[in-house]
Amino acid sequence: MEVALRKSGEEGVIKQERRVESSIGEDGCKEKIFLKDNQLESANAEMGEVREENQRLRMYLNRMMKDYQNLQMQFFDIVNQETKESTNTAQSDQEMTEEPELVSLSLGRTSSDPRKDEKAIRKGKEDQQDKEGLALGLHSNFEVSKTGPIDESSIKPSPENSQEVNKEAGESWPPQKGLKTVRSEDDEISQHNPVKKARVSVRVRCDTPTMQDGCQWRKYGQKIAKGNPCPRAYYRCTVAPSCPVRKQVQRCAEDMSILISTYEGTHNHPLPLSATAMASTTSAAASMLLSSSSTSETAPASSAGLNFYLSNHNSKPRPFYLPNSSISSSPSYPTITLDLTSTTSSSSYHNINNKIINPNFLSSAPGYNSSPNLNFSSLESNPIPISWNSYGTQPYNKNNQIGSSLNFSRQAQENFYTSLMQKSLLNPNSTQQAQPQDTIAAATKAITSDPSFQSALAAALTSIIGSNGGGGGGGGGNLGFQIGKNSKLGETFPFVSNFPSTSQNGNKCSSSYLNGSTSVTNSQLFLQPPLPFPSSKSKSTSPGGGGDHGSD
C-alpha cells in the first residue's frame, strides 16, 4: 500500500508542478527559474508531507487491521458462545448442523428409486467422515447451530416458497434443498425448528465467469432461469467432501458485467484465509438475518456509500433490475444481497445506489473524505432488496489480492500493487464512467472495487454487525457501528486494504487484466489449523454465457 500511495502521491506532485509550470510559462525566464526552484522546493516539501501522510496512513491501516482482528475475535467468541448455548437445547441437531440432509440420507428416505438410495448411502458415509473430523469453520456453522436449525433441510415448512428477492438475475433458491433424499425424519425436525435459511447474494462487477472467493467450487448444474437469458450455474463447495455450502452464480440480466453469486449454508470445515472473507460475510449476514428476522428496521448510518439492505420474508422485494417484475415474493428465506457493483452502466434502479455513493470517495485523491456508511433498510421502503454498495463506481476490477497485502506477505503486496497499477494504467477504460487520471484515484478505485476487497469489507462489516446487532437488538437503528471502531476513518485513506480478507487467488476475476500472472492459487494461510487442502485446483470456470442447458 504504501508503495502505491507513495508512487501515486509523487506523481500527483509532479503533475502539479507541471501544471504550475505551464501556467507561469510566459512570465519571464528569471521568474520562471525562480519559481521553478521554488516549486521544486515546495514539491519536495510536498513529497515529504506525502510521505508523512503515507506513514500516518500506514499507521491507520495497521490500527484498523488490529481493530478488525479484535472485532473478528470478539465476533467469533460471541458466536461460539451462542453456539454453545444452542447446543444445550439441540444437541443432536448440532452435531450435524450443516448437513441435516445428509443425516436424513443416512436414515433413508422413502423414495423408491434405487439410484437415490445408493447415493444416500454414499452420502451417509461422507457424513460420518465429516463428523469425525468436523472442525468448526471460522465463520461457519454458527448461524445454523445457533438457532438450532438445520440449515439445509428445513425450509419447507412454509408453503410460500416462491421466488424472491432476486428474481432478476435469478438468484432464488428454491424451497428446499433439493436433494430428493431429504425427507422423513429430518423434515420433522426441521419443522420443529422453523429455520429460515439465510442466503447471501453478492453482486459484483466481474466479467469473468466466476468470482473467486477463495473456496473451491464444483459445478453441478446449470440452468436457464426464466427471466434471464444468462444461465444460472450451481456450484457446491468441494473444499470438504461433505460441505453443504452451495452457491448459484448468474449474471445480471440487465448488466452482464454484474455477477451475482448467492451463497447458501455454512462451511463445515476450515477455510483458506482467502475464503474467509466471503464465508464470514455470508454467515454473518445470514446470522444477522436470522437473528433479526422480523425486524426490518433500518438505520441509515451515514453517508459514505455502503448500503446494506435487509430483506425479510414478508417484504416484497422489487429487484432493481426488474423494475416491474412481478415477483411473487414472500420469500420464506431471508436473503441478503451485498451489492458490490458500482452500478455504473446499468441504468434502472441501480442508480439509487449511486446516489448514495459519493463519487469522490474513490476518485478524489487519497480520499480523506470517506466516511463509511452503512444503511440498513427494509425492503419495504426500498425497491431494492438488499444491497450493499461499496463505493461507487468502478466496474470491472478484478483483483483479488487486496487484503492480503498489509500483513500477509510482502510479495503479495507488491504483486497486488503491481497489478493494480497495471490495471489502472493499462486499462483506464475499465471504468466506464469516470476515468481517473490520477493514479491514486485509479488505484483507490481499483482497490475498492476489487471483489476481494469488497468481500473483505463485507465480511468485516457483517461481522461487526453480527456481533453488535445480531444479538437481538438488531431491529432499530442502533446499529451504529463503525468500521474499525474508528469513526475517524473518514480522515484516512479509505480503508482499502485493511481487512485481511482476501484472496490471493482471485484470478478469476482478475485474469483478464492481470494477464496470467495469477500464480498463487489458494492461499495457504488458514485461520484455523490447516487442513490438507489441495491447493491448486480451482478451475471452475463456467457459466459465462454459454449455452443453456436444458431447461426442460
Partner DNA sequence: CGTCTTTGACCTGCGC
Partner DNA sequence: GCGCAGGTCAAAGACG
Going by the DSSP 8-state scheme, the letter that residue 286 receives in this structure is: H
Three-state SS for 353-404 is HHHHCCHHHHHCCCCCCCCCCEEEEEHHHCCCCCCCCCCCCCCCCCCCCCCH
Position among 237, 278, 374, 447 found at the interface with Zn ion (CB under 5 A):
237
* Cross-sheet strand order for the sheet of 246-251: 217-224, 231-237, 246-251, 258-264, 199-205, 335-339, 306-311, 374-378
Binding of DNA at residue 115 (CB under 7 A)? Answer: yes
Q: Report in angstroms how near the CB of residue 456 gets to Zn ion at its nearest.
A: 18
- Could you say whether residue 63 binds DNA (CB under 7 A)? no
Among 138, 165, 245, 301, binds Zn ion (CB under 5 A): 245
Given candidates 177, 267, 269, 318, which one binds DNA under the rule CB under 7 A?
177
By the rule CB under 5 A, 239 interacts with Zn ion: yes
Q: What b/e sequence results for 10-39 when a residue is b if at least 16 CB atoms lie within 10 Å of its CB, and e otherwise?
A: bebbeeebeebeeeeeeeeeeeeeebeeeb
The site partner of 539 among DNA, Zn ion, none (C-beta below 5 to 8 Å per kind) is: DNA
Asked if 267 touches Zn ion (CB under 5 A), the answer is yes
Interface residue with Zn ion among 50, 144, 243, 443 (CB under 5 A) is 243
- Binding of DNA by 212 (CB under 7 A): no
By a kind-dependent CB cut-off of 5 to 8 A, residue 245 interacts, out of Zn ion, DNA, none, with: Zn ion
Q: Is residue 547 classed exposed, middle or buried when 0-12, 13-18 and 19+ CB atoms within 10 A define those classes? A: exposed
Q: Does 138 bind Zn ion (CB under 5 A)?
A: no
Please state the closest distance from residue 276 (CB atom) to Zn ion, in A.
Answer: 11
With binding defined as CB under 7 A, does residue 246 bind DNA? yes
Question: Residue 328's binding partner, choosing from Zn ion, DNA, none, with beta-carbon cut-off 5 to 8 A by kind?
Answer: DNA
Reported for 88-96, long-range contacts at CB under 8 A and 24+ positions apart, including other chains, are 89/148, 90/145, 90/148, 90/193, 93/145, 93/148, 93/149, 93/150, 93/189, 93/193, 94/145, 94/148, 95/131, 95/134, 96/127, 96/131, 96/150
- Pick from 51, 66, 218, 485 the residue near DNA by CB under 7 A: 218
- Report in angstroms the alpha-carbon separations of 483 from 65, 330, 479, 503: 10, 33, 12, 20
Q: Which of 427, 169, 416, 462 is CA-nearest to residue 309?
A: 462
162: contact with DNA by CB under 7 A: yes
Q: Which does 221 bind (CB under 5 to 8 A by kind): Zn ion, DNA, none?
A: DNA
Is 279 near Zn ion (CB under 5 A)?
no
Nearest residue (CB) to Zn ion, 155 versus 245: 245
| Closest listed residue to residue 187, CA positions, set 145, 179, 132 | 179
Task: Output phi, psi for 435, to 5 deg.
Answer: -115, 100
194 vs 221 by CB, closer to DNA: 221
Beta carbon of residue 280, minimum distance to Zn ion (angstroms, whole number): 13
* Residue 111 identity: S
Region for 106 from its dihedrals, namely left if φ exceeds 0, alpha if ψ lies in -120 to 50, beta otherwise: alpha
Minimum CB distance to DNA, residue 309 (Å): 20
Q: Is 275 in the site for Zn ion (CB under 5 A)?
A: no
Question: Site residues for DNA, window 279-338 (CB under 7 A)?
Answer: 328
Nearer of residues 158 and 517 to DNA, judged by Cβ: 158
Considering only residues 516 to 535 of the shown chain, the ones binding DNA according to CB under 7 A are 534
Positions that interact with Zn ion (CB under 5 A) = 237, 239, 243, 245, 267
Positions that interact with DNA (CB under 7 A) = 111, 113, 115-116, 118-119, 156, 159-163, 170, 172-180, 216-227, 232-234, 238, 246, 248, 328, 534, 537, 539-543, 546-547, 549-552
